[in-house]
């Protein structure tokens, strides 16, 4: 992978501001996110931050054009991760950090995590839950070019119920926390849930994240119990739809999952203990499954050294294999799949380690790639912006050596990343 001349990186930036000049990506192989097989010898024509056209063969440059030579590589759309937490990362200090770190600390952390994610080839992410709404400020800082990171679609703070997975006092002494009612993180009853959604809209969130059941990482014993009533779910979802926002539901337990799907959530996150009825409901309603399978193994391997409690390890054992069995059933049942890692549990930047799991448990390599490109864009309603290599879409292009449809694990090493028409990584 190489630019056509020594000063091409600078020239590409200059040309990006010129209406007449273009950047020509000569791809030896192209996965466009739509076709079921790669195309050979293709030119992706980039103008500014958009793809202008996709041409068969290696198009000769006009005067002023810049050529990026990826003729020995596979180019494809920038990857998309539909479940990340860019404001935190689990370490040995996570418990004390949850008490000591403030808004500024989280903001500095998020800058580092965002850049690491981008350089791994993920040019768009959906951030599902944060501290202090830092991801909303991070989204703006990245969009304005102040820091480097992926395009962010964020829910801001998660919404939960009293004592539930999103309640920060979850089995910790409440005297350690500022239970600020202005944040509307915890809601109880339909009216309170409506207000929580309106607060997210006021904050500038793009979407809504609810914790429909207990969680694995929270200290509370139950990771499966339903935590919203049907009336509360209807209030959340109808209010979110009023504001043009989709709802993602964290859900491990079966009953909470089914309530959320019936109420109309856009996606189920985790989906660990689904039964056949839940799968049928998801297929019927067009609900997406966003399953984070790699981090289960990561937690079992690393968790004890990070000080995970016995309750947490027990819940990981309960959900790990069951989630994978459910994923396989969902693929066979035609449930929509989108790629999501819950990054922040495992380190940011290793998101692609999940691809082999998606293949091992039912998807073809091409389908696994589509789950992190076109299918994720469809989940967000961003088909006209990202997820495929097509005219008019953002010029988000990555490249790898070899063919990931033969071995999807090569996506764990991405030497070339372009976002918005700018080369942000070229490790050739």
CATH of the domain at 347: 3.20.20.140
Residues in the chain: 428
Say yes or no: 71 and 178 in one domain: no
Q: What is the mean pLDDT of the chain?
A: 91
Say yes or no: 67 and 180 in one domain: no
Say yes or no: 268 and 350 in one domain: yes
% of the chain surpassing 90 pLDDT? 80
Say yes or no: 408 and 315 in one domain: no
Please give the Cα distance from 335 to 358 (Å, whole number).
14
User: Mean per-residue pLDDT for 148-172?
Assistant: 84
Say yes or no: 112 and 13 in one domain: no
Pairing of strands 416-419, 397-400: antiparallel
Q: Where are the beta strands (DSSP E) in 240-376?
A: 247-251, 267-270, 288-291, 336-339
Say yes or no: 396 and 374 in one domain: no
Q: What pLDDT score was predicted for residue 168?
A: 66
Measured CA distances, 243 to 76, 188, 202, 308 (Å):
33, 21, 10, 39
Q: Which residues, 6 or more positions from 373, have their beta carbon under 8 angstroms from its beta carbon?
A: 33, 76, 77, 78, 79, 80, 387, 388
pLDDT tens string 36-51: 999 999 999 999 999 9
User: Mean per-residue pLDDT for 350-364?
Assistant: 98
Please give the Cα distance from 23 to 12 (Å, whole number).
7
User: Mean per-residue pLDDT for 50-64?
Assistant: 97
Say yes or no: 268 and 125 in one domain: yes
User: Mean per-residue pLDDT for 153-172?
Assistant: 81
Say yes or no: 160 and 263 in one domain: yes
Say yes or no: 59 and 157 in one domain: no
User: Mean per-residue pLDDT for 160-164?
Assistant: 84
pLDDT tens string 268-301: 999 999 999 999 999 999 999 999 999 999 999 9
Say yes or no: 65 and 214 in one domain: no
Tokens of 426: 């070229």
CATH of the domain at 23: 2.30.40.10
Q: What pLDDT score was predicted for residue 306?
A: 87
Say yes or no: 29 and 108 in one domain: no
Quote the number of domains for the chain: 2
Say yes or no: 231 and 173 in one domain: yes
What is the extent of the structural domain holding 73?
Answer: 2-78+388-426
């Amino acid at each position: 992978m190489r630019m056509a001349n020594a000063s091409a990186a600078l020239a590409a930036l200059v040309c990006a501001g010129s209406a007449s000049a273009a950047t020509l990506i000569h791809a030896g192989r192209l996965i466009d996110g739509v076709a079921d097989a790669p195309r050979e010898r293709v030119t992706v024509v980039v103008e500014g931050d958009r793809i202008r056209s996709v041409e068969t063969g290696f198009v000769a440059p006009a005067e002023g054009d810049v050529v990026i030579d990826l003729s020995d590589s596979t180019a494809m759309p920038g990857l998309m991760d539909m479940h990340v937490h860019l404001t935190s990362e689990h370490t040995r200090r996570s418990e004390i950090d949850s008490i000591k770190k403030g808004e500024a600390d989280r903001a500095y952390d998020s800058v580092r995590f965002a850049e690491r994610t981008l350089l791994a080839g993920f040019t768009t992410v959906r951030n599902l839950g944060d501290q202090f709404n830092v991801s909303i400020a991070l989204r703006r800082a990245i969009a304005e070019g102040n820091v480097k990171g992926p395009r962010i679609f964020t829910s801001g703070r998660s919404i939960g119920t009293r004592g539930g997975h999103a309640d920060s006092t979850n089995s910790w002494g409440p005297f350690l926390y500022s239970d600020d009612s202005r944040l509307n993180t915890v809601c109880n009853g339909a009216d309170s849930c409506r207000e929580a959604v309106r607060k997210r809209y006021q904050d500038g969130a793009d979407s809504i994240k609810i914790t429909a059941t207990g969680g694995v990482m929270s200290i509370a014993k139950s990771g499966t119990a339903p935590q919203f009533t049907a009336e509360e779910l209807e209030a959340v979802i109808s209010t979110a739809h009023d504001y043009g926002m989709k709802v993602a539901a964290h859900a491990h337990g079966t009953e909470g999952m089914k309530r959320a799907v019936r109420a109309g959530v856009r996606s189920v996150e985790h989906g660990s203990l689904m039964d056949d009825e839940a799968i049928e409901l998801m297929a019927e309603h067009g609900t997406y499954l966003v399953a984070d399978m790699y981090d289960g193994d990561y937690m079992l391997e690393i968790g004890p050294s990070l000080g995970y409690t016995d309750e947490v390890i027990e819940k990981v054992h309960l959900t790990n294999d069951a989630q994978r069995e459910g994923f396989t059933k969902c693929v066979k049942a035609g449930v929509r799949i989108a790629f999501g890692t819950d990054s922040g549990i495992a380190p940011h930047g290793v998101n692609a380690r999940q691809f082999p799991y998606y293949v091992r448990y039912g998807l073809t390599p091409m389908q696994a790639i589509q789950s992190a490109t076109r299918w994720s864009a469809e989940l967000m309603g961003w088909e006209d912006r990202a997820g495929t290599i097509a005219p008019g879409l953002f010029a988000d292009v990555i490249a790898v050596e070899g063919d990931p449809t033969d071995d999807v694990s090569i996506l764990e090493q991405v030497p070339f990343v372009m976002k918005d028409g700018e080369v942000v990584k070229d490790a050739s």
